[in-house]
Amino acid sequence: LGSANANFVAGKTYAEVLQRLVNTVAWGQSDGPNHFGWIYDLNDSNSADGSTLGWALLGLEIAQAAGATIPAELKTRLATMLTAALNTDGTLDYFADGNPASDNSVNVAKTGTALQGLAFTGVASSDPRVVAAVAYVTRNWSAKVDTGQTFDCTGGTPTRFNKGCGYAMFNVFKGLRLNGIQTLPGIG
Q: Note the pTM of the prediction, 2 decimals.
A: 0.88
Comparing 19 with 103, the larger pLDDT belongs to 19
Which pLDDT score, from 0 to 100, does residue 151 have? Answer: 65
Go through 129-153 and write b for each residue having 16 or more CB atoms within 10 A of its CB, e for each that does not: bbebbbebbbebbebeeeeebebeb
pLDDT band at 67 (very low <50, low <70, confident <90, very high): very high
Q: Which helix (H) or strand (E) holds 57?
A: helix 52-65
Give pLDDT tens digits for 24-57: 999 988 876 667 888 887 777 767 788 888 889 9
Which pLDDT score, from 0 to 100, does residue 128 have? Answer: 97
The rounded Cα 116 to chain-centroid distance in angstroms is: 6
Tell me the mean pLDDT in the region 140-169: 69
In the predicted structure, residue 126 carries a pLDDT above the cut 70: yes
Angle of helix 14-27 relative to helix 72-85, nearest 10 degrees?
A: 40
Which pLDDT score, from 0 to 100, does residue 137 have? Answer: 92
